[in-house]
Amino acid sequence: MKFHSLSQQYKREREKKQTFPVLPLFSSPPALYNRAQMTQTISEEKRQVRSAVMKSISQLTPEEIQEKNRLFFRHLMMYPLWKRCSVLFAFVSMKDEIDTSQVISQGIADGKLIALPRITEGTMKFHVLPPGTKAKYYDRFLEEHPYGFSQPREELPVIQPSAYLVSLMLVPGTAFDAFGNRLGRGKGYYDSYIASYESGLHTLGVCFTEQCIEKIPVDGGDKKIRALISDSGILYQKM
């Protein structure tokens, strides 16, 4: 499966300007200015990629989305680490993301600890659903964030990845590429979390195939994922 090219309009806009400004070599202080200009350019390019990918997803029909969710779930259930992991770091999907509700229910049914992200004061932590939670009723332990997405209630215990437990983290994103790069929504929550606990996590990007593009603009704070699954199957896996 080939990764999608960006829209022709985005490509034309990209060709009008160079990715980085052409500047002469400077000594140390001006070089800091040079890097700042580069970051601004990458930020703008990321904005354009987000816009192009979101437009592509918005054009999917309800029937197409339903079928893509079905195929994604089937591929995930065949992923080798699914059966081995004892802790599933998942997330409650939004309407423009691959559906995770069935995944969470299956994880509960399989006896896995289910950890879900909660955003508090600009920091993301994962809270564990109570042992014995019924797969059909896990949403009783969720509440709505002011931005409109669902997250676990604050009183649920916080869990951190451990080298003594096999942990699988499902990582959302706006776009992914064939090199393991991920483009989020711009807040950096997952990049920061993965940077802190990278050794104890197997990070698995999950998405619609429409979210897979040739190359994502990245900067120093962006963290790669170890593997990627969409409705088309396993699209990337770090060897």
Which structural domains are found in the chain, ordered by start? 62-237 (3.40.50.10420)
pLDDT at position 24, please?
28
pLDDT at position 212, please?
93
pLDDT at position 1, please?
55
Q: Are strands 182-183 and 175-177 parallel, antiparallel or unpaired?
A: antiparallel
Residues in the chain with pLDDT values less than 70: 1-40, 239
pLDDT at position 146, please?
82
pLDDT at position 3, please?
59
